[in-house]
Structure 1
Amino acid sequence: MRVISGTKKGHPLKAVPGKDTRPTTDKVKESIFNMIGPYFEGGIALDLFAGSGGLGIEALSRGVNQVIFVDRDMKAIQTVKENLRSTGFTEAAEVYRNEAERALKAIVKRGIVFDSIFLDPPYKKQKLESMLQFIGEQSLLSTDGFIMCEHGSDVHLPHVAGPFERVRYETYGIVSVSVYYWMNDGEG
């Protein structure tokens, strides 16, 4: 695993020890960022099921100003912190050990609005539709922001989820990626 592009291109990243966390492969990560970027002019991102932190660190390397990383697993949190230290992005990050739903509720209380949200939950425990609905109801995404969902290719997310519309969908073997934006009704 490595950073694909940007200021830290080629920098190696550690994986979370054990078999509980499935890292996004470099090929899929590169495809995701080709869909959503590939580069950014600032902004704040949320890496909700952070794992090793690969997606959020890639976003930082490509120009995002700040990323909030959340994972419920202590080994994942330690790995994120280690990867942030090795890439020099510690100051641009907040790292929290929490369940996804509880983390979203805590974020609502802080009044944070994200420009990009990365959702890559464990494939067998997905609640992506309800999370998309909650993110929309709480206006946690900026009007020109996006939500990237990585999921098993056997999971079929709807074209419209809450106030969001899927604008990109790609499959890479057992992995699928769905990218959502606010629907084009001028609100959000």
Structure 2
Amino acid sequence: METKPLFSTINAGKYKGKKILLPSLESTRSTKAILKGSFFDSVHYDIVDELFVEVFGGSGSMGLEALSRGAKHAYFIEKDKAAFSTLKRNCESIDKTHTTALHGDSFLLFPTLVAHFTCKAYFYFDPPFSIREGMESVYEKVLSLIASIPQEKVHLIAIEHMSTLVLPEVIGAFTLQKTKKFGKSSLSYYA
């Protein structure tokens, strides 16, 4: 039996209504629409003409939404081969000029990517939840990665995580601004 492709859509901005292909649920977990809406309600027009980095790219739905809402360029890092293929297709169909998709391990590629930035960016971290096999230490690694980001390169850091996880008040130079809960997922903001 052939499975039908899964889609999401861009909610607002110049690409509103455009479809985004979603990778298989075995390799990624897509961001809930309510959480995505809340995030973009929070950053509103602040992301216009800014860089946006989706550190665990998946389908690219957050970065492509940011682009649609006026971000200057969206960067994505995705390790899973099938998910990366989907991400590339989404970038090409939405806006290949203002997207950069990198295939590889976020923990290895991210520091090099950030080192090339000459301005501040918005960073969105949505790692695989630690309940997945082989991901038990993913949050420790994410916190360490965030602590390594130079303060002068950050507008805002958002972390999508399991609601059962309580993140620290301070990560490196960044302080927790707020956490919003959406059932099993939560979104924490650092600046």
What percentage of residue pairs aligned between the two structures are identical? 27
How far apart in 1 are the matches of 2:118 and 2:51?
9
Query: Are the equivalent residues in 2 in contact too, given 1:113–1:139 (CA < 8 A)?
Result: no
Match of 2:133 in 1: none
Choose from 164, 168, 181 the match for 1:154.
164
After TM superposition, the structure 1 stretch with the greater mean CA deviation from structure 2, 9-18 or 110-119, is: 110-119
Q: TM-score, normalised by structure 2?
A: 0.85
Question: Cα distance, 1:53 vs. partner?
Answer: 0.3
For structure 2, list consecutive stretches of 5 or more residues without a partner in the other structure: 1-7, 131-137
Match of 1:133 in 2: 147
Q: Aligned letter for 2:153?
A: L
Match of 2:182 in 1: 172
Query: Are the equivalent residues in 2 in contact too, given 1:123–1:151 (CA < 8 A)?
Result: yes
How far apart in 2 are the matches of 1:104 and 1:29?
22
Distance 1:140 1:52, change over 3 A: farther
Counterparts of 1:11-160 in structure 2 under 5 Å?
11-37=18-44, 40-87=47-94, 89-124=95-130, 125-126=138-139, 127-135=141-149, 138-139=150-151, 141-142=153-154, 145-160=155-170
After TM superposition, the structure 1 stretch with the greater mean CA deviation from structure 2, 114-123 or 34-43, is: 34-43
Once the two structures are superposed, what CA deviation does each residue of 1:73-124 show, in whole Å capped at 9, x if it has no partner? 111111111112222x111011111111211232244345442011000011
For structure 1, list consecutive stretches of 5 or more residues without a partner in the other structure: 182-188
Q: TM-score, normalised by structure 1?
A: 0.87
Question: Cα distance, 1:141 vs. partner?
Answer: 2.3
